[in-house]
Amino acid sequence: MVEAANYSAVEALRNGHQVEIRALRPDDRADLVAAVGRTSSQSLYRRFFAVRRNFKEGEIAFFVNIDFITHVALVAVVEESGRPMIVGGGRYIVVEPEKAEVAFAVVDEYQGQGIGAALLHHLAAIARNAGLQELIAEVLPDNTPMLKVFEKGGSGLGMKREPGIVHVTLRLF
């Protein structure tokens, strides 16, 4: 398998267009910030559990400077007007041995095209290759699209519903 920091794959979206799923690079900073600017308040709330439009310098550095060992991040890139544009991203952060927390965001106009599922698929493959056993996530109960991505993401799925949160566990083996 390709080293995570150099990861790249091309997938077909539901609308027939192609998306490149690749490792986030430090020079993606401006494009990542632009993608946040194109994302609705509701989608940002579902990702961060608060509407986040302005990030402090340290937060941006955290999101962009990835070690690809304990923190792996992929972006979804499509061609728009002849220029590559980041339209989604997913990452996992190792929280304990063999377990990582995963999170995703997709620009609204690209939601429902299979980008979240593609990001999950590729992150899970990288995680398996790194020896991780499970991915976990906390999802808002009204975030039905993300819950569906997890439901379709594998047979080792567990969901525990509590007031205001759904705890998701995806076994990788």
Provide φ and ψ at 143, rounded to 5°: -90, 65
pLDDT value of residue 1: 47
pLDDT value of residue 42: 82
pLDDT value of residue 99: 97
pLDDT value of residue 134: 95
pLDDT value of residue 21: 98
Q: DSSP labels for 7-64? A: -EEEEE-TTS-EEEEEE--GGGHHHHHHHHHTS-HHHHHHHHSS------HHHHHHHH
pLDDT value of residue 86: 95
Question: In the chain, which residues have pLDDT < 50?
Answer: 1
Please answer whether residues 64 and 28 qualify as being in contact, where contact means their C-beta atoms are separated by less than 8 angstroms.
Answer: yes
Domains located in the chain, CATH noted = 4-171 (3.40.630.30)
Residue for token pair 């991915």: 135
Please answer whether residues 46 and 140 qualify as being in contact, where contact means their C-beta atoms are separated by less than 8 angstroms.
Answer: yes
Provide φ and ψ at 34, rounded to 5°: -65, -40
Per the confidence metrics, is the pTM higher than 0.85?
yes
Residue for token pair 């993608």: 35
